Structure 1
Amino acid sequence: MNTQKILFLCALMGAIALAFIFIPPGTLSLASIKTHRLALLALVEQHPLQSAALYFAVYVLVSALSLPGAAILTLLGGALFSLWQGMLLVSFASTLGATLAMLASRYVLRDGVQRRFAKQMNTVNAGMARDGARYLFALRLMPLFPFFVVNLLMGLTGIGVRRYWWVSQLAMLPATLVFLNAGRELANVTSLHDILSLPLLFAFTLLGLLPLATRWLFSRYTPLIKK
C-alpha cells in the first residue's frame, strides 16, 4: 500500500471516529432538528462564524462518509441561515464531501466498490465514455443512483477531480435550493416526501436529461445542416 493510500485510510478512520463522537445516532432526524431549532438559532445569533464553521464541518463529514442525514442538514441550514448563506455553506460542503468520498473510492476502496457495484459500473463506464461530464450531471439530478453510489462509482472512472467538483456542484444546486427554502418553513415540514414530490422529481429528471438530449440532437442534425 503506497503512502497516498495510507494517508487516505488514516483520514477515513479519523473521520469515522469523529462521526461517532459528534453525530450520535438519532441526531440527524427531522424530529430532532425541530426540537432544538430555537436553541440552535440562539447559538447562531451569538456565535455566527463559529456556528457556520461547525455546520460546514459536520456537513462535509456526513457527505464524505455517506451517512444518512444530508437532506436533514440542508433543511437545518435553511432554518438557521439566510438563503444565500445556506446556499454557500451547503453547496461547498456537499461538493467537498462528495469529492472526498470519490477520492476515497479511487485510492482506498477501489477493489471493494468494483466487486459490490460491478453491474452498475458497466452502466457508468458506458455513460461516461459516451457523454463524459454530461453523464455525471444527469446522474446528480436524476433519481437513478443514490448520492453516495454516484460518489463511489465516479471514483473508479477517469474523471478529473476539478471537473468532478464543478459538475457536481452545479448539478446539486437545484435540490440544495429547494431544501434550503423548505427549511425556512421547517415547522410545516412533516416528512421529506413533503419536499420531494413526484412532479419535482420529474422536473429534476428532465433537467438532468437536457444536456444529454442536446448532445444527441447536435450529433444527429449537425451533419444534415452541413450537407
Structure 2
Amino acid sequence: MTEMTDAPAKNPWLKRLPLIAIVAAALAGAFFLRDYLSFETLADHREALLAFRDANYLLTVLAFIAIYVVIVAFSLPGATVATLTGGFLFATFPGALFNVTAATIGACLIFQAARLGLGDKLSEKLEGSGGVVQKIKAGIDANQWEMLFLIRLVPAVPFFVANLVPAFVGVPLHRFAISTFLGIIPGAVVYTSVGAGLGEVFARGETPNLGIIFEPHILLPILGLCALAALPIVLKALRGKKGL
C-alpha cells in the first residue's frame, strides 16, 4: 500500500503538468487569441471599458490584474497591450503599480511551474557538469542579484526568457520576485505612460509608438541602470584577475 501511495508522487510527469499546461496554453493563445488581445481590440472597446471602470472601479482593478496575471503566467500574446490598457484605464499611476504587480505575480507563477517541472534537475546537471557550463553556472550563482536585474532591465531580453532562465539555474523565489518587481519598473512606467495618452492617440486615429523605449531619452537612462547593475560583476572580475 505504501509503495502504491508513493508511486504517483515520484512520477516526474506530475511535476511537469503545470509547465506542460503553460506551454499548451501559450501555443493555443498564439493561434487563437492574437487577434483579440490586440491594440485594435482595445481601440474598439475603449468606451465600454471606461464606462465599466467608472461604474465599478475596484472590480475593474481586480479583473484587470487577474487577466494580466493569466496573460503573463501562460505566456499569452498581449502583454504589451495589457500594459497599455493599465495606463489607459488607470493613468500612469496607479496604472504602473497595477501593471508591475500583475506582471510579477504572473512571472512568479511561470517561474515556479518551470522550476517544478525541469528547474531542479537542470540545476543539478549544471552543478555537476564541468568545463565552460559549470563556470557559467558558478558565475550566475556568484552574481545572482546583478544578473537578475540585468536581464530585467535590458529591453532586448524577452520577458518570458527572463522568467524561465532563473528557474533553470536554481534562483530562489524571493530573489526572483524582488528583482522582477523592481527590475521591470522602468519599462513598465514608460509603456504605462504611453497607455495613459491613448485617448489622444485614439482621437487622431493613430497607433501608439511602442518603440519609444528605444529612443535615446528613454533608452540611455535604462542603459545607465544596466551599467550600475553590471558594475559589481565587473569589479568582482577585476578583483579575481588581480588575485591571480
TM-score (norm 1): 0.78
Query: Is residue 2:80 matched to residue 1:80?
Result: no
- Partner of residue 147, structure 1: 159
CA deviations over 1:47-103 (Å, ceiling 9, x no partner) = 111111110011001111112211111111101013332122111110011111111
Pick from 72, 83, 107: which aligns with 1:63?
A: 72
Which position in structure 1 is the counterpart of 2:3? Answer: none
Match of 1:6 among 14, 19, 30: 14
- The answer as to whether partners of 1:137 and 1:171 remain within 8 angstroms in 2 is yes
Alpha-carbon distance in structure 2 between the residues aligned to 1:130 and 1:24? 40
Unpaired runs of 5+ residues, structure 2, are: 1-7, 124-132
Q: Distance in 1 between matches of 2:82 and 2:106?
A: 13
Structure 2 Cα separation of the partners of residues 93 and 151 of structure 1 = 14
Do 1:105 and 1:153's aligned partners in 2 also have CA atoms closer than 8 Å? no
* Residues 172-187 of structure 1 mapped to structure 2, 5 A cutoff: 172-186=184-198, 187=200
Q: How big is the shift at 1:192?
A: 4.5
Does the CA contact (< 8 Å) of 1:64 and 1:101 recur in 2?
A: yes
User: 3-state SS of the aligned residue for 1:27?
Assistant: coil
Question: Which residue does the alignment assign to 2:223?
Answer: 205
Contact 2:153 2:226 in 1 (8 A): yes
- Conserved in 1, the CA contact under 8 Å of 2:16 and 2:118? no
SS for the counterpart of 1:108 is: helix
Query: Alignment identity in percent?
Result: 31
Aligned residue identity for 1:125: K
Q: 2:18 touches 2:117 (CA, 8 Å); kept in 1? A: no
SS at the partner of 1:177? helix
Displacement of 1:5 in angstroms is 6.9
User: More deviation in 182-191 or 50-59?
Assistant: 182-191
> What RMSD, in angstroms, separates the aligned Cα atoms of the two structures?
3.4
CA distance in 2: counterparts of 1:153 and 1:5, whole angstroms? 20
TM-score, normalization by structure 2: 0.73
Question: 103-112 or 208-217: which moved more?
Answer: 103-112
Question: Residue type of the partner of 2:45?
Answer: H
Selected match of 2:207 from 190, 206, 213:
190
What is the distance in 2 between the residues matched to 1:178 and 1:42?
25
Task: Give yes or no for contact 2:187–2:213 (8 Å, CA) kept in 1.
Answer: no
**Unaligned stretches of 5+ residues in structure 1:** 115-120
CA distance in 1, matches of 2:135, 2:99: 29
Partners of 1:124 and 1:153 within 8 A in 2:
no
Contact (CA 8 Å) 2:25, 2:76: kept in 1 or not? no
Paired residues of 1:141 and 1:171 also in contact (CA < 8 A) = yes
Q: Secondary structure at the match of 1:66?
A: coil
For residues 117-147 of structure 1, give each alpha carbon's deviation from its aligned partner in whole angstroms, at most 9, with x where no partner exists.
Answer: xxxx889735513421111100101134311
How many residues align? The count is 213
Structure-to-structure mapping, 1:37-186, within 5 angstroms:
37-110=46-119, 125=137, 127-186=139-198
